[in-house]
Amino acid sequence: MDLTAILAALASGAAIGMVLAGLGAGGSILMTPLLVYAVGVPSAHAAIGTSAVAVTLNALLGLAGHARAGSVKWRCAGVFAVAGVIGASIGAELGKALDGKRLLMLFGLLMVGVGIAMLRPRRGEERADVRLTMTSAGHLLPRLVPIGLGTGLLAGFFGVGGGFLIVPGLIAATAMPMRFAAGTSLVIVAALGATTATSYAFSGFVDWPLVGMLALGGVAGAAIGLIGIARLARYRGLFEKGFALLVIAVGAYVALGR
């Protein structure tokens, strides 16, 4: 890697780590385009495999801060993650079998759809006391399991952490507040990312030196994201809308094969 590629990798890792720690979602969907267009990874499959490893590590970095803050619903995360891992295992095999250019085009279209969905206002009443117990299992499990399975399938197919689907999925299934959904989602992002990364690594689609650069940048990005979410909480909605517009723009660029 030349100096330009190294700097681009460090900056990409920092950007994704910051978004994952701050918003708990959406960062991973930008990783593959960054690797292809900014860092210069020539293979779509290699970009997806490397992205999956890096996103997993960055999610774990962000999770540490949320765990200390007590904003993780561990039991809900466990159920969602188990269902998601099953879906991700299937999705990763399907994604590897698809032509790289077509996979990137579909990835771009997914980004546009996700960005539009992120702009829509959230509805429903929040419940800060959400807990998965023997009493609540009959109500929560029929929602958590199918949403987790579907999210995992898409995450594995496109090689992303799936946080952009996990956060609204958790809120729809449990009505937990955004703060808890963001923290809880990182457990699931790490689980799905690890599943996809393992599949791609066994097929030789992971650039390990590049992973190191992305993870190094992610450490700094995660620290900035955790500080930012605490100090700029009142502007969170504005940041989310701006990020959604960025996702739509990048998705359109990727889908058009630029």
* pLDDT confidence of residue 149: 92
The better pLDDT of the pair 176, 120 is held by 176
Q: Note the helical H segments in 70-207.
A: 74-96, 100-119, 137-158, 163-174, 178-202
Q: Model confidence over 22-39: pLDDT tens digits? A: 665 556 677 888 888 889
Give the mean model confidence (pLDDT) for residues 51-57: 83
CA dist., res. 63 & res. 70, Å (int): 10
- Per-residue pLDDT for 253 more than 70? yes
- Per-residue pLDDT for 152 more than 60? yes
* pLDDT confidence of residue 210: 92
Q: Report the percent of the chain where pLDDT is more than 90.
A: 11
- Per-residue pLDDT for 177 more than 60? yes
The better pLDDT of the pair 78, 229 is held by 78
Q: Model confidence over 61-108: pLDDT tens digits? A: 778 878 888 889 999 999 999 999 999 889 888 888 888 778 778 878
Q: Model confidence over 126-145: pLDDT tens digits? A: 565 677 888 888 888 998 99
* pLDDT confidence of residue 80: 94
Give the mean model confidence (pLDDT) for residues 143-156: 87
The token pair at 96 is: 């590897």
- pLDDT band at 146; cut points 50, 70, 90: very high
- Per-residue pLDDT for 221 more than 90? no
- Per-residue pLDDT for 228 more than 80? no
- Per-residue pLDDT for 250 more than 70? yes
Q: Which of 251, 246, 253 is nearest to 19 (CA)?
A: 246
- Residues contacting 105, CB < 8 A, separation 6+: 254, 255, 257
110 within 8 A of 251, measured Cβ to Cβ: yes
Place of tokens 């689907």: 165
Q: What does the domain layout of the chain look like in residue ranges?
A: 3-255
- Per-residue pLDDT for 110 more than 60? yes
- Residues contacting 74, CB < 8 A, separation 6+: 184, 187
